[in-house]
Amino acid sequence: MINQQHLLEQTKRLSLLFAEDSDPLRIRMVAVFEEYFYRVDSAIDGRDALEKYNEYFHTKQKHYDLVISDIQMPRMDGVELTAELRSIREDQPIIILSAHTETDYLLQLINIGVSQFITKPVQYPEMFDTLHKVCSKINTSPVISTKPLHIVHLSDEFFWDNEKKIFFQGDEIITLTKYEILLMEILVKKFEQVCTTDEILYHFYHNNIDLNSDNLRGMMMRLRKKLPEKALTSIYGMGYRLSSIH
């Protein structure tokens, strides 16, 4: 059985969409998942799950890290939902809840590419082992080098999740303003390098925000107070540098 702390290390920065039509089971499972994942959304059937999946991408510009779905649900079953999700994101991690009597469904799911299942009735040790296996793979998926870093560690305690646009101190989320998030985006893109004032101003302009040098200095002062000491430095006459203080 997997150590609970080891499991939490793999899940605490991940988002989860859980689809289950049984109200008692859904409520019970969501309560468990919320102990591990930083965000948990639930759906009452496959159609509801697909709508929430698309809404999440529309608002966050990213997909759920993990989807867990029952097989037999009204309006759209787990097989149909899986096919829809795979048409949107080919490598979407999906875990299926299945009863021993649902072997016909399992064959269809395996043909679609799903290889991770949790047997119903749910046994928590089995479920935790499966979650650890799948979430470990999610966290170790290679990051394409042409994109900004996914997880940027500023110190042993502080790190920035570039996909979710969230700043953490340990397990706690540090609240950033919309402008501070934009600053982190461009500073992380030039991590350990000097990010010029012009590059920052253009980044804001590209996001339909007019900003001048005086406003920028004030924003940098406020952002610096939320970061580890010396992680953000001013380079006179040039700009700013975000770096690790390990």
Question: What is the reported pLDDT for 141?
Answer: 67
Angle of CA points 24, 27, 31, to nearest 5°: 140
Question: What is the reported pLDDT for 106?
Answer: 78
In sequence order, the 6+-apart residues with CB closer than 8 A to the CB of 58 are: none
Determine the 3-state secondary structure of 120 from DSSP: strand
**C-alpha 154: how far from chain center:** 19
Specify the length of the chain in residues: 246
Residue 194's nearest CA partner among 232, 145, 152 is 232
Using alpha carbons, list the distances in angstroms from residue 84 to 51, 77, 89, 105, 115: 11, 11, 9, 15, 17
Angle of CA points 82, 83, 89, to nearest 5°: 85
The number of C-alpha atoms within 13 Å of 39 and in the hemisphere containing its C-beta is: 15
Ordered per-residue pLDDT tens for the chain, 246 residues: 677 888 998 998 899 999 999 999 999 999 999 999 989 999 999 999 999 999 988 777 788 999 999 999 999 999 999 999 988 888 899 999 988 666 777 778 887 778 789 988 999 999 999 999 999 988 876 543 334 457 888 988 899 988 889 999 988 899 999 999 999 999 998 888 888 898 899 899 988 998 888 889 999 999 999 999 989 999 888 889 998 886
Question: What is the reported pLDDT for 142?
Answer: 52
Determine the 3-state secondary structure of 170 from DSSP: coil
Sign of CA dihedral 81, 133, 63, 37: positive
Sign of CA dihedral 171, 176, 181, 185: negative
pTM over 0.75: no
Residue 143 DSSP label: P
Q: Indicate the Cα dihedral angle 12, 55, 207, 191, nearest 10°.
A: 20
Question: What is the reported pLDDT for 1?
Answer: 66
